[in-house]
Amino acid sequence: MISPHVKNLIADELNGENCMAHVAEITQYHRSLGSREYHEACEYVRRYLRGQNIEVDSLDAPLDNKTRIGNYIVPPAWEPRDAIFKVIEPEERVVVTFAETPTCINSWSGATPAGGVTAELVSVGPGDRDEHYEGRDVRGKICLVEKGYAWRTHPLAVEKYGALGFVNDDVIAMPPLKTRETFPDVVMWNTLYERDEEGGYLKGFGLTISPRMGDYLRGLLQQGPVKVYARVETRTFEGIMENPMGRLVGNTYPQEEILMAAHICHTRPGAIDNAAGCAHITETLRALHALVERGDLPRPKRTILSFYGPEGHHTNVYGAHMEKAGRLSDVMMGLSSHCGGDPEQLHAPLVLTRTTPARPHYIDDLLTHLLEEVSVQFPAPGPRARTPFSFRVDPRFMGGDSLQIVAWGIPGIELYRKPNIFWHTQYDTVDKCSPEEFLKVSWVFATAAWFVANAGPAEALSLMHNVAARSMARQSEAAHLAREALLDAGDGNLQTTLDTRVDLLRYLSERDSQAIASCEELVRHDPAEARDRLATARQALVTRLERKQREEEQDLVAYARLLRAGRVGG
């Protein structure tokens, strides 16, 4: 489907160590939306791209808590500066500081008065329901909560019941690897989602502390009253959402774009999430640009973009921009990256999330095909691939950057490792990334982007056959699972189970037929004769798939009949 020569050229040009260097630089900055350090991270990306002679653009937007873009009102800009939380009585002990643990301030937290506040500490249990505050006077005090849904705690503790702020020690557990016991000093990053509110921006503060310190505070409270001191320095203001962009401009259909997106926001350090994604798409664009500039590859027909900004917001801005320009159909596909984590440290496979089934598309099978080829392109063990490669396909589509891409009707996938035990913690550092991982995922994105950027009738036909072959395999697998389900079904559930499984076969056939048809998007500028040949090929493949579906359906009906007659044991 893709020339081995092109695949090898791309593999030889990519350098995972370049990605590691990008992550090391970006993780120096606390990249909250609209902040000075967010700007510095964006400036770093712009300088690097310009240094590679790559065209740089930007698609900025307001951060003012009132501008509606698509279905979303943008948040205000927010910048953390410092924080300390400590016990004053019955003993003096520092619990957490922003200087040592940047993940401790909940995003969009309000500030304390300049000198800080001293108040009584009150434990309210989970703290995310009214019943947790019954019989407790928290007005003018600071709440200790044990559930990490800060965006649910704040409206109750601060806005409704008058607390000055709250601290929580919850851990998003991923047992057995990540629990309060295995990560006693972890400090999770939480967010207080800004919203319209009487009086302007959020009042009161939200901090996160470690499980060890949470247990310490509860132990003190069991002995008697506890007085604590909190000083939180933050700034909420109207600012600019910077969304920088690198371009490798196509020479035939430059208006058509392949979008590679990653969010550059988040707390310091935020390596895997998501300095790594930014590094990944930057190296991908650099490698393709270098191959074109040297003449090893021709200039692509379509434009390839690397796009950076705040999670979800920048891809929403991109979609709104393309819709306003009447160009949504010009976006061939969106590739979102959460990649770069070291599989040996994360103990997690690489996950490909498929695009929404509401818009079936060849992108799913194209990316699956390339992920299957990674182990061939980079055999392990080898000098450039230390760890055997593994991945799985998630039929659901993910949130974050890809959610907004898909919401605008653009076919989009996301690559990430899950579960990420370092996610949203102070331990998400550059040493948790892997140059080998960067090499592999950059090859996948670069090869996919290059293929689509240059695809014409021959490539579209090859892709049609790839999607059709995988569709046939999905029908066979669904039928196999259906027979297992029928075996497990009791006599009273046999017909319902059969009906459900037959519906699934028909659903797969319908969706995959549309995915096969989506390949024709690649020839919409070609002569009518070429388009007609592709349409004929598409119809033949769809007919073959529909025949396969009917055969599997008939076999299932016959199998259920045998079960009813008692001819097959269960």
- Rounded (10°) CA dihedral 378, 379, 381, 387: 60
HSE of 396, CA atoms in CB hemisphere, 13 A: 2
Put residue 199 in one of left, alpha, beta given phi > 0 → left and psi -120 to 50 → alpha: left
Q: Are strands 117-123 and 391-394 parallel, antiparallel or unpaired?
A: unpaired
**What's residue 566's pLDDT?**
82
**What's residue 197's pLDDT?**
46
Position 155, amino acid? P
3-state helix, strand, coil in the chain (%, to 5): 45, 20, 35
Ordered alpha helix ranges (H), 193-312: 211-223, 276-293
Portion of the chain with pLDDT greater than 90, in percent = 87
Cα 295 to Cα 304: distance, rounded to the nearest angstrom:
17
- Give the predicted TM-score (pTM) of the model: 0.95
Cα 213 to Cα 422: distance, rounded to the nearest angstrom:
19
Cα 152 to Cα 173: distance, rounded to the nearest angstrom:
19
**What's residue 381's pLDDT?**
57
pLDDT in tens, 346-363: 988 899 999 999 999 999
Helix (H, G, I), strand (E, B) or coil at 234: strand
For the domain made up of 457-564, the CATH class stated in words is mainly alpha
Instruction: Convert 289-322 to b/e letters by CB count within 10 Å (16 or more is b).
Output: bbbbeeeebebbbbbbbbbbbbbbbbbbbbbbbb
**What's residue 380's pLDDT?**
59
Per-residue pLDDT in tens (0 to 9) along the chain, 570 residues: 889 999 999 999 999 999 999 999 999 999 999 999 999 999 999 999 999 999 999 999 999 998 999 988 999 999 999 999 999 999 999 999 999 999 999 999 999 999 999 999 999 999 999 999 999 999 999 999 998 789 899 999 999 999 999 999 999 899 999 999 999 999 999 998 766 544 468 899 999 999 999 999 999 999 999 999 999 999 999 999 999 999 999 999 999 999 999 999 999 999 999 999 999 999 999 999 999 999 999 999 999 999 999 999 999 999 999 999 999 999 999 999 998 999 989 988 899 999 999 999 999 999 999 999 998 888 655 555 566 788 999 977 667 799 999 999 999 999 998 889 999 999 999 999 999 999 999 999 999 999 999 999 999 999 999 999 999 999 999 999 999 999 999 888 999 999 999 999 999 999 999 999 999 999 999 999 999 999 999 999 999 999 999 999 999 999 999 999 885 554
| Per-domain boundaries in the chain | 7-74+247-453, 77-237, 457-564
Asked if 289 and 49 touch (Cβ cutoff 8 Å), the reply is no
**What's residue 385's pLDDT?**
58
Structure tokens at 181: 């016991």
Burial class (CB in 10 A: 0-12, 13-18, 19+), 111: buried
| Range 77-237: architecture per CATH | 3-Layer(bba) Sandwich (3.50)
pLDDT in tens, 387-419: 678 899 997 766 779 999 999 999 999 999 888
What does the DSSP 8-state code read for residue 382? B
Q: What's the angle, vertex CA 479, arms to CA 491 and CA 481, rounded to 5? A: 65
Position 307, amino acid? F
Measuring CA to CA, how many Å separate 274 from each of 22, 415, 433, 523? 11, 12, 11, 35
The domain 7-74+247-453 is placed in CATH, from the list 3.30.70.20, 3.40.50.300, 3.30.70.330, 3.40.630.10, at 3.40.630.10
Asked if 27 and 262 touch (Cβ cutoff 8 Å), the reply is no
Asked if 201 and 194 touch (Cβ cutoff 8 Å), the reply is yes
pLDDT averaged over every residue in the chain: 94
